[in-house]
Amino acid sequence: MKPTFTALIERENDMYVSLCPELDIASQGFSIEEARTNLREAIELFFEYASDEEIKQRIKSEIYITPIEVKIGETANTVS
């Protein structure tokens, strides 16, 4: 069985940026699929070359993605 990781993908200008929060690895591409494919390759390369110690330090076993509501008002835009 292959391990499964999370891929967060967002558009940034003309490209898509992909992030694996469990490993803190990022990549990019000109399409969603390319960003996803490039992230998969980056993760595979990480596991191929990283030491066991680095893998233990970076891997997070639980990631929660949930919406939160925040209040945005006049004071939120003020810089002290």
Cα distances (angstroms) measured from residue 57 to each of 14, 23, 29, 47, 61: 33, 9, 27, 13, 11
pLDDT tens for 24-60 read 999 999 999 999 999 999 999 999 999 999 999 999 8
How many angstroms separate the CA atoms of 5 and 47, rounded?
13
Helices (H), the chain: 32-49, 52-58
Q: Which of 13-17, 18-22, 75-79 has the lowest mean pLDDT?
A: 75-79
The 8-class DSSP code of residue 21 comes to T
Domain ranges across the chain: 8-63
Task: Output the pTM of the full model.
Answer: 0.80
